[in-house]
Protein backbone atom coordinates (compact mmCIF):
# COMPACT_ATOMS: atom_id res chain seq x y z
CA UNK A 1 0.00 0.00 0.00
CA UNK A 2 1.09 3.58 -0.74
CA UNK A 3 0.76 6.46 1.70
CA UNK A 4 0.81 10.19 1.04
CA UNK A 5 4.27 10.32 2.67
CA UNK A 6 5.48 7.70 0.21
CA UNK A 7 4.31 9.94 -2.63
CA UNK A 8 5.93 13.00 -1.06
CA UNK A 9 9.24 11.16 -0.50
CA UNK A 10 9.26 9.09 -3.69
CA UNK A 11 11.89 9.81 -6.30
CA UNK A 12 10.56 11.83 -9.17
CA UNK A 13 10.15 8.91 -11.59
CA UNK A 14 8.14 6.87 -9.11
CA UNK A 15 5.89 9.83 -8.22
CA UNK A 16 5.27 10.59 -11.89
CA UNK A 17 4.39 6.99 -12.65
CA UNK A 18 1.87 6.77 -9.79
CA UNK A 19 0.25 10.16 -10.33
CA UNK A 20 0.15 10.01 -14.14
CA UNK A 21 -1.83 6.80 -13.69
CA UNK A 22 -4.61 8.78 -12.00
CA UNK A 23 -5.16 10.61 -15.32
CA UNK A 24 -4.69 7.81 -17.86
CA UNK A 25 -0.94 8.38 -18.16
CA UNK A 26 -0.71 12.21 -18.22
CA UNK A 27 3.04 12.47 -17.60
CA UNK A 28 3.20 16.25 -18.12
CA UNK A 29 0.65 16.75 -15.35
CA UNK A 30 2.43 14.43 -12.93
CA UNK A 31 5.74 16.17 -13.62
CA UNK A 32 4.28 19.54 -12.78
CA UNK A 33 2.65 18.07 -9.66
CA UNK A 34 5.98 16.59 -8.56
CA UNK A 35 7.42 20.10 -8.29
CA UNK A 36 4.65 21.20 -5.96
CA UNK A 37 5.50 18.64 -3.28
CA UNK A 38 5.14 18.10 -0.34
CA UNK A 39 1.38 17.61 -0.14
CA UNK A 40 -0.27 18.17 3.21
CA UNK A 41 -3.26 15.91 2.57
CA UNK A 42 -4.84 13.88 -0.24
CA UNK A 43 -7.30 16.78 -0.67
CA UNK A 44 -4.33 19.11 -1.20
CA UNK A 45 -2.93 16.83 -3.93
CA UNK A 46 -6.34 16.50 -5.63
CA UNK A 47 -6.89 20.23 -5.60
CA UNK A 48 -3.38 20.95 -6.93
CA UNK A 49 -3.84 18.50 -9.81
CA UNK A 50 -7.13 20.16 -10.77
CA UNK A 51 -5.54 23.59 -10.53
CA UNK A 52 -2.59 22.54 -12.72
CA UNK A 53 -5.06 21.28 -15.32
CA UNK A 54 -7.11 24.48 -15.14
CA UNK A 55 -3.99 26.60 -15.72
CA UNK A 56 -2.50 24.35 -18.41
CA UNK A 57 -2.38 25.17 -22.12
CA UNK A 58 -5.60 24.46 -24.01
CA UNK A 59 -4.12 21.58 -26.02
CA UNK A 60 -2.72 19.94 -22.87
CA UNK A 61 -6.23 19.99 -21.41
CA UNK A 62 -7.68 18.60 -24.61
CA UNK A 63 -5.05 15.83 -24.63
CA UNK A 64 -6.34 14.71 -21.22
CA UNK A 65 -9.83 14.34 -22.66
CA UNK A 66 -8.58 12.58 -25.77
CA UNK A 67 -6.47 10.03 -23.94
CA UNK A 68 -9.15 9.18 -21.38
CA UNK A 69 -10.17 5.54 -21.60
CA UNK A 70 -13.84 5.25 -20.69
CA UNK A 71 -14.89 2.53 -18.26
CA UNK A 72 -16.59 -0.50 -19.84
CA UNK A 73 -20.40 -0.44 -20.06
CA UNK A 74 -22.32 -1.19 -16.88
CA UNK A 75 -23.37 -4.75 -16.06
CA UNK A 76 -27.08 -4.03 -16.13
CA UNK A 77 -27.10 -2.77 -19.73
CA UNK A 78 -29.50 -4.61 -22.03
CA UNK A 79 -28.66 -4.84 -25.76
CA UNK A 80 -31.08 -1.88 -26.29
CA UNK A 81 -29.24 0.17 -23.65
CA UNK A 82 -25.90 -0.69 -25.21
CA UNK A 83 -27.12 0.37 -28.63
CA UNK A 84 -28.53 3.64 -27.32
CA UNK A 85 -25.28 4.39 -25.48
CA UNK A 86 -23.27 3.69 -28.61
CA UNK A 87 -25.42 6.13 -30.54
CA UNK A 88 -25.12 8.82 -27.89
CA UNK A 89 -21.35 8.36 -27.65
CA UNK A 90 -21.03 8.74 -31.44
CA UNK A 91 -23.25 11.87 -31.47
CA UNK A 92 -21.25 13.34 -28.62
CA UNK A 93 -17.92 12.73 -30.33
CA UNK A 94 -19.17 14.36 -33.54
CA UNK A 95 -20.49 17.36 -31.68
CA UNK A 96 -17.61 18.04 -29.25
CA UNK A 97 -14.56 16.38 -30.82
CA UNK A 98 -13.77 14.29 -27.73
CA UNK A 99 -15.42 11.40 -25.96
CA UNK A 100 -17.82 12.06 -23.08
CA UNK A 101 -16.32 11.56 -19.63
CA UNK A 102 -18.73 10.26 -17.00
CA UNK A 103 -17.43 9.58 -13.49
CA UNK A 104 -19.11 7.09 -11.15
CA UNK A 105 -21.90 8.41 -8.90
CA UNK A 106 -21.40 10.55 -5.79
CA UNK A 107 -20.51 7.53 -3.65
CA UNK A 108 -18.10 6.16 -6.18
CA UNK A 109 -20.43 3.41 -7.37
CA UNK A 110 -21.01 3.03 -11.15
CA UNK A 111 -24.08 4.62 -12.72
CA UNK A 112 -26.79 2.26 -13.93
CA UNK A 113 -27.40 1.98 -17.68
CA UNK A 114 -30.46 4.25 -17.47
CA UNK A 115 -28.61 6.83 -15.36
CA UNK A 116 -25.77 6.78 -17.85
CA UNK A 117 -28.16 7.28 -20.77
CA UNK A 118 -29.89 10.20 -19.00
CA UNK A 119 -26.50 11.81 -18.27
CA UNK A 120 -25.37 11.51 -21.91
CA UNK A 121 -28.67 12.84 -23.24
CA UNK A 122 -28.62 15.81 -20.90
CA UNK A 123 -25.04 16.77 -21.68
CA UNK A 124 -25.43 16.51 -25.44
CA UNK A 125 -27.37 19.78 -25.27
CA UNK A 126 -24.65 21.71 -23.41
CA UNK A 127 -22.47 24.43 -24.86
CA UNK A 128 -19.06 23.09 -25.99
CA UNK A 129 -17.11 25.15 -23.41
CA UNK A 130 -19.39 24.07 -20.59
CA UNK A 131 -19.05 20.46 -21.67
CA UNK A 132 -15.26 20.55 -21.91
CA UNK A 133 -15.06 21.92 -18.36
CA UNK A 134 -17.56 19.34 -17.15
CA UNK A 135 -15.54 16.50 -18.71
CA UNK A 136 -12.38 17.77 -16.99
CA UNK A 137 -14.22 17.87 -13.69
CA UNK A 138 -15.41 14.33 -14.20
CA UNK A 139 -11.78 13.37 -14.89
CA UNK A 140 -10.80 14.94 -11.55
CA UNK A 141 -13.49 12.92 -9.85
CA UNK A 142 -12.24 9.71 -11.48
CA UNK A 143 -8.70 10.64 -10.39
CA UNK A 144 -9.99 11.23 -6.86
CA UNK A 145 -11.50 7.76 -6.71
CA UNK A 146 -8.28 6.24 -8.11
CA UNK A 147 -6.19 8.11 -5.56
CA UNK A 148 -8.45 6.87 -2.76
CA UNK A 149 -7.87 3.34 -4.01
CA UNK A 150 -4.12 3.88 -4.29
CA UNK A 151 -3.97 5.21 -0.72
CA UNK A 152 -6.44 2.61 0.58
CA UNK A 153 -8.72 5.31 2.01
CA UNK A 154 -12.51 5.53 2.05
CA UNK A 155 -14.57 8.59 3.00
CA UNK A 156 -16.35 6.56 5.68
CA UNK A 157 -18.21 9.38 7.40
CA UNK A 158 -18.95 10.96 4.04
CA UNK A 159 -20.57 7.67 3.07
CA UNK A 160 -22.61 7.68 6.29
CA UNK A 161 -23.89 11.18 5.47
CA UNK A 162 -24.55 10.15 1.87
CA UNK A 163 -26.56 7.12 3.02
CA UNK A 164 -28.62 9.24 5.41
CA UNK A 165 -29.37 11.76 2.68
CA UNK A 166 -30.48 8.94 0.34
CA UNK A 167 -32.76 7.47 3.02
CA UNK A 168 -34.27 10.84 3.83
CA UNK A 169 -34.92 11.43 0.12
CA UNK A 170 -37.21 8.39 0.03
CA UNK A 171 -39.90 10.54 1.63
CA UNK A 172 -41.64 12.84 -0.80
CA UNK A 173 -45.06 14.52 -0.99
CA UNK A 174 -47.86 12.84 -2.95
CA UNK A 175 -47.99 13.88 -6.59
CA UNK A 176 -44.20 14.19 -6.60
CA UNK A 177 -43.20 10.85 -5.06
CA UNK A 178 -44.85 8.97 -7.94
CA UNK A 179 -42.72 10.87 -10.46
CA UNK A 180 -39.52 10.21 -8.56
CA UNK A 181 -39.32 13.87 -7.49
CA UNK A 182 -38.21 15.06 -4.08
CA UNK A 183 -40.68 17.50 -2.53
CA UNK A 184 -41.06 17.81 1.23
CA UNK A 185 -43.20 20.71 2.35
CA UNK A 186 -44.22 21.79 5.83
CA UNK A 187 -46.00 19.15 7.93
CA UNK A 188 -47.03 16.78 5.16
CA UNK A 189 -46.79 13.03 5.89
CA UNK A 190 -43.41 12.91 4.12
CA UNK A 191 -42.22 15.90 6.17
CA UNK A 192 -43.23 14.29 9.45
CA UNK A 193 -41.63 11.01 8.39
CA UNK A 194 -38.36 12.91 7.82
CA UNK A 195 -38.60 14.38 11.33
CA UNK A 196 -39.13 10.89 12.76
CA UNK A 197 -36.17 9.49 10.87
CA UNK A 198 -33.86 12.28 11.94
CA UNK A 199 -34.95 11.84 15.58
CA UNK A 200 -34.43 8.09 15.35
CA UNK A 201 -30.93 8.44 13.91
CA UNK A 202 -29.97 11.10 16.46
CA UNK A 203 -31.11 8.88 19.32
CA UNK A 204 -30.23 5.39 18.10
CA UNK A 205 -27.27 5.87 15.75
CA UNK A 206 -25.54 8.97 17.05
CA UNK A 207 -25.97 8.87 20.83
CA UNK A 208 -27.54 12.30 21.39
CA UNK A 209 -28.60 12.71 25.04
CA UNK A 210 -31.86 14.55 24.36
CA UNK A 211 -33.91 14.39 21.16
CA UNK A 212 -37.29 15.97 20.60
CA UNK A 213 -39.60 17.61 18.10
CA UNK A 214 -40.53 21.12 19.15
CA UNK A 215 -43.72 23.16 18.80
CA UNK A 216 -43.11 24.10 15.14
CA UNK A 217 -41.77 20.68 14.09
CA UNK A 218 -38.02 21.36 14.43
CA UNK A 219 -36.02 18.25 15.35
CA UNK A 220 -33.73 19.18 18.23
CA UNK A 221 -30.90 16.93 19.39
CA UNK A 222 -28.54 17.80 22.25
CA UNK A 223 -25.21 16.15 22.94
CA UNK A 224 -24.22 17.24 26.42
CA UNK A 225 -20.83 18.65 27.19
CA UNK A 226 -18.78 17.43 30.15
CA UNK A 227 -20.61 20.17 32.06
CA UNK A 228 -24.29 19.89 31.07
CA UNK A 229 -24.89 23.51 32.13
CA UNK A 230 -22.13 24.99 29.97
CA UNK A 231 -23.28 27.20 27.06
CA UNK A 232 -23.96 25.26 23.90
CA UNK A 233 -22.90 25.59 20.31
CA UNK A 234 -25.99 25.73 18.12
CA UNK A 235 -25.94 24.32 14.60
CA UNK A 236 -28.31 22.93 11.99
CA UNK A 237 -30.21 23.65 8.82
CA UNK A 238 -33.58 22.82 7.25
CA UNK A 239 -35.07 19.49 6.16
CA UNK A 240 -37.95 20.80 4.04
CA UNK A 241 -37.32 21.15 0.30
CA UNK A 242 -38.55 23.17 -2.66
CA UNK A 243 -40.76 21.40 -5.23
CA UNK A 244 -38.69 18.86 -7.18
CA UNK A 245 -35.61 19.89 -5.22
CA UNK A 246 -32.28 18.30 -4.36
CA UNK A 247 -31.27 15.94 -1.56
CA UNK A 248 -28.65 18.12 0.10
CA UNK A 249 -30.02 21.67 0.31
CA UNK A 250 -30.44 22.15 4.06
CA UNK A 251 -30.14 18.50 4.99
CA UNK A 252 -26.35 18.45 4.74
CA UNK A 253 -26.24 20.96 7.60
CA UNK A 254 -28.13 18.56 9.88
CA UNK A 255 -26.38 15.36 8.82
CA UNK A 256 -22.77 16.61 8.99
CA UNK A 257 -22.93 17.57 12.70
CA UNK A 258 -24.87 14.35 13.38
CA UNK A 259 -21.92 12.38 11.97
CA UNK A 260 -19.60 14.34 14.28
CA UNK A 261 -21.71 13.54 17.33
CA UNK A 262 -21.79 9.88 16.28
CA UNK A 263 -17.99 9.84 16.31
CA UNK A 264 -17.73 11.65 19.64
CA UNK A 265 -20.22 9.24 21.17
CA UNK A 266 -18.41 6.20 19.76
CA UNK A 267 -15.15 7.43 21.24
CA UNK A 268 -16.91 8.11 24.56
CA UNK A 269 -15.81 11.76 24.32
CA UNK A 270 -17.47 14.83 25.77
CA UNK A 271 -16.65 18.36 24.71
CA UNK A 272 -16.44 21.06 27.36
CA UNK A 273 -19.60 22.56 25.81
CA UNK A 274 -22.89 21.09 24.64
CA UNK A 275 -23.77 20.73 20.97
CA UNK A 276 -27.36 21.40 19.92
CA UNK A 277 -28.23 20.24 16.41
CA UNK A 278 -31.51 21.50 14.95
CA UNK A 279 -33.25 20.17 11.88
CA UNK A 280 -35.37 23.21 10.97
CA UNK A 281 -38.86 22.24 9.88
CA UNK A 282 -39.38 24.99 7.34
CA UNK A 283 -37.18 27.38 5.43
CA UNK A 284 -38.37 27.38 1.82
CA UNK A 285 -41.90 28.80 2.19
CA UNK A 286 -43.47 26.33 -0.25
CA UNK A 287 -46.71 25.22 1.37
CA UNK A 288 -47.49 28.49 3.14
CA UNK A 289 -46.20 31.99 2.53
CA UNK A 290 -43.93 31.77 5.54
CA UNK A 291 -40.18 31.38 5.03
CA UNK A 292 -37.63 30.62 7.76
CA UNK A 293 -40.46 29.48 9.99
CA UNK A 294 -38.23 26.97 11.82
CA UNK A 295 -35.24 29.19 12.53
CA UNK A 296 -37.49 32.24 12.94
CA UNK A 297 -39.20 30.53 15.88
CA UNK A 298 -35.81 30.24 17.65
CA UNK A 299 -35.35 34.01 17.51
CA UNK A 300 -38.92 34.77 18.58
CA UNK A 301 -40.21 35.71 15.13
CA UNK A 302 -43.12 33.38 14.62
CA UNK A 303 -45.89 35.45 13.08
CA UNK A 304 -49.31 34.44 14.52
CA UNK A 305 -51.00 35.68 11.34
CA UNK A 306 -49.43 32.75 9.48
CA UNK A 307 -51.67 30.32 11.39
CA UNK A 308 -54.75 31.37 9.42
CA UNK A 309 -53.11 31.06 6.00
CA UNK A 310 -54.52 28.21 3.95
CA UNK A 311 -52.50 25.97 1.62
CA UNK A 312 -53.60 25.07 -1.93
CA UNK A 313 -56.05 22.51 -0.50
CA UNK A 314 -57.58 24.98 1.96
CA UNK A 315 -55.86 23.51 5.03
CA UNK A 316 -54.76 26.26 7.39
CA UNK A 317 -51.40 26.18 9.06
CA UNK A 318 -53.20 25.95 12.41
CA UNK A 319 -55.02 22.81 11.25
CA UNK A 320 -51.81 21.29 9.88
CA UNK A 321 -50.02 21.95 13.17
CA UNK A 322 -52.86 20.53 15.23
CA UNK A 323 -53.01 17.48 12.99
CA UNK A 324 -49.27 16.97 13.52
CA UNK A 325 -49.81 17.14 17.31
CA UNK A 326 -47.80 20.34 17.72
CA UNK A 327 -48.60 22.63 20.62
CA UNK A 328 -49.09 26.11 19.15
CA UNK A 329 -49.17 27.71 22.60
CA UNK A 330 -45.57 26.62 23.18
CA UNK A 331 -44.14 28.43 20.15
CA UNK A 332 -43.10 31.62 22.04
CA UNK A 333 -41.07 29.41 24.43
CA UNK A 334 -38.84 28.32 21.54
CA UNK A 335 -36.98 31.62 21.55
CA UNK A 336 -33.39 30.89 22.58
CA UNK A 337 -31.62 32.82 25.32
CA UNK A 338 -28.39 33.99 23.64
CA UNK A 339 -26.48 33.91 26.93
CA UNK A 340 -26.87 30.13 26.89
CA UNK A 341 -25.15 29.80 23.49
CA UNK A 342 -21.64 30.24 22.13
CA UNK A 343 -22.90 30.92 18.63
CA UNK A 344 -24.46 29.33 15.56
CA UNK A 345 -22.66 27.59 12.70
CA UNK A 346 -24.24 26.13 9.58
CA UNK A 347 -22.93 23.84 6.87
CA UNK A 348 -24.75 24.22 3.55
CA UNK A 349 -24.27 23.12 -0.04
CA UNK A 350 -23.11 26.20 -1.97
CA UNK A 351 -26.05 26.26 -4.42
CA UNK A 352 -23.84 28.13 -6.86
CA UNK A 353 -21.01 27.52 -9.34
CA UNK A 354 -18.06 29.19 -7.59
CA UNK A 355 -16.44 26.31 -5.68
CA UNK A 356 -17.08 23.88 -8.51
CA UNK A 357 -15.39 26.21 -10.95
CA UNK A 358 -12.22 26.54 -8.86
CA UNK A 359 -12.18 22.84 -7.92
CA UNK A 360 -12.45 23.47 -4.19
CA UNK A 361 -14.58 21.22 -1.98
CA UNK A 362 -15.08 23.79 0.81
CA UNK A 363 -15.52 27.55 1.05
CA UNK A 364 -15.92 29.95 3.98
CA UNK A 365 -18.86 32.34 3.94
CA UNK A 366 -18.07 35.99 4.69
CA UNK A 367 -21.63 37.27 4.77
CA UNK A 368 -25.16 36.34 3.85
CA UNK A 369 -26.16 39.02 1.40
CA UNK A 370 -28.76 41.59 2.30
CA UNK A 371 -31.41 42.11 -0.34
CA UNK A 372 -34.17 44.37 -1.52
CA UNK A 373 -37.00 43.59 -3.93
CA UNK A 374 -39.25 45.82 -6.01
CA UNK A 375 -42.24 45.42 -8.26
CA UNK A 376 -42.47 48.06 -10.95
CA UNK A 377 -44.35 49.22 -13.96
CA UNK A 378 -43.23 51.32 -16.90
CA UNK A 379 -45.69 53.29 -19.00
CA UNK A 380 -44.73 54.23 -22.54
CA UNK A 381 -46.93 54.57 -25.62
CA UNK A 382 -48.58 51.64 -27.34
CA UNK A 383 -48.32 52.33 -31.05
CA UNK A 384 -48.52 50.63 -34.43
CA UNK A 385 -45.54 48.33 -35.02
CA UNK A 386 -45.49 49.03 -38.73
CA UNK A 387 -45.83 52.81 -38.75
CA UNK A 388 -43.76 53.88 -35.71
CA UNK A 389 -40.07 54.14 -36.68
CA UNK A 390 -37.57 52.66 -34.18
CA UNK A 391 -36.23 56.06 -33.13
CA UNK A 392 -39.69 57.43 -32.41
CA UNK A 393 -40.92 54.68 -30.11
CA UNK A 394 -41.67 55.00 -26.43
CA UNK A 395 -41.34 51.25 -25.82
CA UNK A 396 -41.94 50.27 -22.16
CA UNK A 397 -40.42 46.78 -22.58
CA UNK A 398 -37.24 48.15 -24.17
CA UNK A 399 -36.69 50.26 -21.04
CA UNK A 400 -36.99 47.18 -18.79
CA UNK A 401 -34.71 45.27 -21.17
CA UNK A 402 -32.00 47.84 -20.43
CA UNK A 403 -32.59 47.46 -16.70
CA UNK A 404 -31.87 43.72 -17.01
CA UNK A 405 -28.21 44.63 -17.57
CA UNK A 406 -27.82 46.15 -14.07
CA UNK A 407 -30.09 44.08 -11.81
CA UNK A 408 -32.02 40.80 -11.70
CA UNK A 409 -35.37 41.16 -13.47
CA UNK A 410 -36.90 37.73 -12.92
CA UNK A 411 -40.41 38.72 -13.99
CA UNK A 412 -41.10 40.79 -17.08
CA UNK A 413 -44.52 41.03 -18.60
CA UNK A 414 -46.23 43.09 -21.29
CA UNK A 415 -49.87 43.14 -20.09
CA UNK A 416 -52.26 42.37 -22.96
CA UNK A 417 -49.48 42.84 -25.51
CA UNK A 418 -49.99 42.13 -29.20
CA UNK A 419 -47.63 40.92 -31.87
CA UNK A 420 -48.02 44.11 -33.93
CA UNK A 421 -48.07 46.70 -31.14
CA UNK A 422 -45.06 48.46 -29.56
CA UNK A 423 -45.34 47.66 -25.81
CA UNK A 424 -47.07 50.53 -24.04
CA UNK A 425 -46.78 49.02 -20.57
CA UNK A 426 -44.36 46.64 -18.94
CA UNK A 427 -44.50 45.14 -15.44
CA UNK A 428 -41.33 43.82 -13.88
CA UNK A 429 -39.65 42.67 -10.69
CA UNK A 430 -36.23 43.73 -9.44
CA UNK A 431 -34.04 41.84 -6.97
CA UNK A 432 -30.80 43.41 -5.65
CA UNK A 433 -28.33 41.87 -3.19
CA UNK A 434 -25.06 42.88 -1.54
CA UNK A 435 -22.78 41.75 1.29
CA UNK A 436 -23.56 44.60 3.70
CA UNK A 437 -26.57 46.83 4.25
CA UNK A 438 -24.51 49.87 3.22
CA UNK A 439 -23.43 48.20 -0.02
CA UNK A 440 -27.01 47.09 -0.67
CA UNK A 441 -28.36 50.61 -0.17
CA UNK A 442 -25.66 52.10 -2.38
CA UNK A 443 -26.41 49.51 -5.08
CA UNK A 444 -30.12 50.29 -4.78
CA UNK A 445 -29.48 54.02 -5.24
CA UNK A 446 -27.29 53.35 -8.30
CA UNK A 447 -29.78 50.99 -9.94
CA UNK A 448 -32.79 53.22 -9.31
CA UNK A 449 -30.82 56.18 -10.70
CA UNK A 450 -29.95 54.10 -13.77
CA UNK A 451 -33.62 53.25 -14.18
CA UNK A 452 -34.59 56.93 -13.94
CA UNK A 453 -32.09 57.90 -16.64
CA UNK A 454 -33.23 55.04 -18.91
CA UNK A 455 -36.82 56.27 -18.56
CA UNK A 456 -35.78 59.87 -19.15
CA UNK A 457 -33.87 58.99 -22.31
CA UNK A 458 -36.67 56.79 -23.67
CA UNK A 459 -39.50 59.14 -22.77
CA UNK A 460 -41.34 56.66 -20.57
CA UNK A 461 -42.60 56.86 -16.99
CA UNK A 462 -41.84 54.43 -14.18
CA UNK A 463 -43.31 53.47 -10.78
CA UNK A 464 -41.57 51.08 -8.40
CA UNK A 465 -42.75 49.71 -5.08
CA UNK A 466 -40.47 48.10 -2.53
CA UNK A 467 -41.87 44.70 -1.52
CA UNK A 468 -39.11 43.25 0.64
CA UNK A 469 -35.94 44.37 2.40
CA UNK A 470 -33.69 41.95 4.29
CA UNK A 471 -30.59 42.79 6.30
CA UNK A 472 -27.20 41.38 5.42
CA UNK A 473 -25.76 38.95 7.96
CA UNK A 474 -21.96 39.29 7.98
CA UNK A 475 -20.16 36.32 9.56
CA UNK A 476 -18.84 36.85 13.07
CA UNK A 477 -15.04 37.15 12.61
CA UNK A 478 -14.00 34.66 15.35
CA UNK A 479 -16.36 32.00 13.93
CA UNK A 480 -15.36 32.70 10.35
CA UNK A 481 -11.73 32.29 11.42
CA UNK A 482 -12.53 28.91 12.97
CA UNK A 483 -13.96 27.71 9.67
CA UNK A 484 -10.91 29.11 7.88
CA UNK A 485 -8.55 27.21 10.17
CA UNK A 486 -10.62 24.05 9.68
CA UNK A 487 -10.36 24.36 5.88
CA UNK A 488 -6.63 25.05 6.15
CA UNK A 489 -6.21 21.98 8.37
CA UNK A 490 -7.63 19.90 5.52
CA UNK A 491 -4.68 21.09 3.42
CA UNK A 492 -6.91 23.24 1.24
CA UNK A 493 -6.55 26.90 0.29
CA UNK A 494 -9.07 29.08 2.12
CA UNK A 495 -11.57 30.59 -0.29
CA UNK A 496 -13.93 33.20 1.12
CA UNK A 497 -17.22 33.99 -0.58
CA UNK A 498 -20.52 35.68 0.23
CA UNK A 499 -23.76 33.75 0.25
CA UNK A 500 -26.12 35.06 -2.38
CA UNK A 501 -28.96 32.94 -1.01
CA UNK A 502 -30.70 33.36 2.34
CA UNK A 503 -30.09 30.71 5.01
CA UNK A 504 -31.28 29.83 8.52
CA UNK A 505 -28.03 31.36 9.85
CA UNK A 506 -29.32 34.79 8.85
CA UNK A 507 -32.20 34.41 11.32
CA UNK A 508 -29.96 33.19 14.15
CA UNK A 509 -27.68 36.15 13.31
CA UNK A 510 -30.22 38.35 15.09
CA UNK A 511 -29.51 36.58 18.40
CA UNK A 512 -25.94 35.32 18.31
CA UNK A 513 -22.70 35.30 16.32
CA UNK A 514 -22.84 33.04 13.28
CA UNK A 515 -20.73 31.77 10.39
CA UNK A 516 -21.30 29.30 7.59
CA UNK A 517 -19.27 26.73 5.67
CA UNK A 518 -20.14 25.97 2.04
CA UNK A 519 -19.70 22.58 0.41
CA UNK A 520 -19.17 22.37 -3.35
CA UNK A 521 -22.08 21.20 -5.49
CA UNK A 522 -21.57 19.03 -8.57
CA UNK A 523 -23.02 19.89 -11.99
CA UNK A 524 -21.78 23.49 -11.81
CA UNK A 525 -23.36 23.82 -8.36
CA UNK A 526 -26.94 23.58 -9.57
CA UNK A 527 -29.54 23.65 -6.76
CA UNK A 528 -33.31 23.71 -6.24
CA UNK A 529 -33.09 21.04 -8.91
CA UNK A 530 -32.94 17.23 -8.79
CA UNK A 531 -29.41 17.38 -10.25
CA UNK A 532 -28.13 19.01 -7.06
CA UNK A 533 -25.37 16.77 -5.81
CA UNK A 534 -22.18 16.52 -3.82
CA UNK A 535 -19.79 13.59 -3.40
CA UNK A 536 -19.15 11.53 -0.30
CA UNK A 537 -15.51 12.71 -0.48
CA UNK A 538 -16.62 16.34 -0.17
CA UNK A 539 -19.05 15.43 2.60
CA UNK A 540 -16.19 13.71 4.44
CA UNK A 541 -14.17 16.94 4.25
CA UNK A 542 -17.18 18.83 5.64
CA UNK A 543 -17.43 16.39 8.56
CA UNK A 544 -13.67 16.72 9.18
CA UNK A 545 -13.93 20.52 9.08
CA UNK A 546 -16.84 20.49 11.52
CA UNK A 547 -14.93 18.18 13.89
CA UNK A 548 -11.93 20.50 13.63
CA UNK A 549 -14.08 23.51 14.50
CA UNK A 550 -15.40 21.67 17.57
CA UNK A 551 -11.82 20.92 18.63
CA UNK A 552 -10.84 24.56 18.27
CA UNK A 553 -13.73 25.68 20.45
CA UNK A 554 -12.91 22.97 22.99
CA UNK A 555 -9.30 24.11 23.02
CA UNK A 556 -10.08 27.78 23.53
CA UNK A 557 -12.44 26.87 26.34
CA UNK A 558 -9.78 24.78 28.04
CA UNK A 559 -7.36 27.68 27.82
CA UNK A 560 -9.75 30.23 29.25
CA UNK A 561 -11.17 28.16 32.13
ZN1 LIG B 1 -31.15 25.67 2.06
Domain chopping of the chain, boundaries = 4-151, 158-368+474-560, 370-470
Ligand 1 geometric centre to CA of 250 (Å) = 4
- Which stretches of 273-316 are assigned E, i.e. beta strand? 274-280
State the distance from the centre of ligand 1 to the C-alpha of 282, rounded, in angstroms. 10
Buried b (16+ CB within 10 A) or exposed e, 353-377: ebbbebbbbbbbbbbbbbbbbbebb
Given a contact cutoff of 8 angstroms between Cβ atoms, the answer to whether 158 and 537 are in contact is yes
Radius of gyration of the chain from its Cα atoms, rounded to whole angstroms: 26
Per-residue exposure over 75-84, b if at least 16 CB sit within 10 Å of its own CB, e if not: eebeeebeeb
Ligand 1: distance of its center to the CA of 239 in Å? 8
Q: For position 16, what pLDDT does the model report?
A: 97
Tell me how far apart the alpha carbons of residues 516 and 528 are, in angstroms, rounded to a whole number: 19
User: Which residue ranges of the chain lie beneath pLDDT 70?
Assistant: 71-74, 557-561
**If you measure from the C-alpha of residue 237 to the centroid of ligand 1, how many angstroms do you get, rounded to a whole number?**
7
State which fold the 158-368+474-560 domain adopts: Aminopeptidase (3.40.630)
- Quickly name the fold that domain 370-470 has: Alpha-Beta Plaits (3.30.70)
How far, in Å, from the CA of 551 to the mean position of ligand 1?
A: 26
> Can you tell me whether residue 210 is helix, strand or coil?
strand
Per-residue pLDDT reduced to its tens digit, 251-303: 999 999 999 999 999 999 999 999 999 999 999 989 998 889 999 999 999 99
Measured in Å, residue 48 CA sits from the centre of ligand 1 at 30
- CA atoms within 13 Å, Cβ hemisphere of 87: 8
CATH superfamily of 4-151: Oxo-4-hydroxy-4-carboxy-5-ureidoimidazoline decarboxylase (1.10.3330.10)
Same CATH topology for 4-151 and 370-470? no
Given this model, what pLDDT does residue 560 score?
46
Residue 146 alpha carbon to ligand 1 centre in Å: 32
**Cα 86 to ligand 1 centroid, rounded to whole Å:** 39
What pLDDT sits at residue 557?
Answer: 54
**Digit-coded pLDDT (tens) for 51-83:** 999 999 999 999 999 888 776 666 778 899 999
Structure confidence at residue 253 (pLDDT): 98
- Cα gap 474→485, rounded to integer Å: 18
Find the 257 Cα to ligand 1 centroid distance in Å: 16
CB 172 within 8 A of CB 182: yes
- Residue 289's pLDDT is 86
| Alpha carbon of 247 to ligand 1 centroid (Å) | 10
Q: What is the pLDDT of residue 73?
A: 63
How remote is the CA of residue 529 from the centroid of ligand 1, in Å? 12
Burial class (CB in 10 A: 0-12, 13-18, 19+), 521: buried
* 62 Cα to the center of ligand 1, angstroms: 36
503 CA to centre of ligand 1 in angstroms: 6
What is residue 559's predicted lDDT score, i.e. its pLDDT? 52
Which are the contacts of 277, defined by CB distance < 8 A and separation ≥ 6? 202, 208, 220, 221, 222, 223, 235, 236, 254, 257, 258, 261
Omega into 508 within 30° of 0, i.e. cis? no
Amino acid sequence: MTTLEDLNDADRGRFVEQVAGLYDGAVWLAERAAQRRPYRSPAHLKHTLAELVRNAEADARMSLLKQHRPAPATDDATPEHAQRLQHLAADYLTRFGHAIVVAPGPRGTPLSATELIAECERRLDDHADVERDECLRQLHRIAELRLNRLLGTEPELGNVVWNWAEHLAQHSDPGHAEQGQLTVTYLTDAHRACAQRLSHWMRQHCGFDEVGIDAVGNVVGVYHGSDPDAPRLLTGSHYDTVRNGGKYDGRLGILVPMACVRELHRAGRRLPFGLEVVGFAEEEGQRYKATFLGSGALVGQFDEAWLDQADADGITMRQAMQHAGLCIDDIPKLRRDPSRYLGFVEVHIEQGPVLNEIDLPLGVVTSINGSVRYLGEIAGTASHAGTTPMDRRRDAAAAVAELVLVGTVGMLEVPSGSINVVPGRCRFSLDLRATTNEARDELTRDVLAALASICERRGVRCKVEETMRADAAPSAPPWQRRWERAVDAAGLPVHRLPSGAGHDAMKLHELMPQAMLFVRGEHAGISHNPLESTTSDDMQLAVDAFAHLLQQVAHNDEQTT
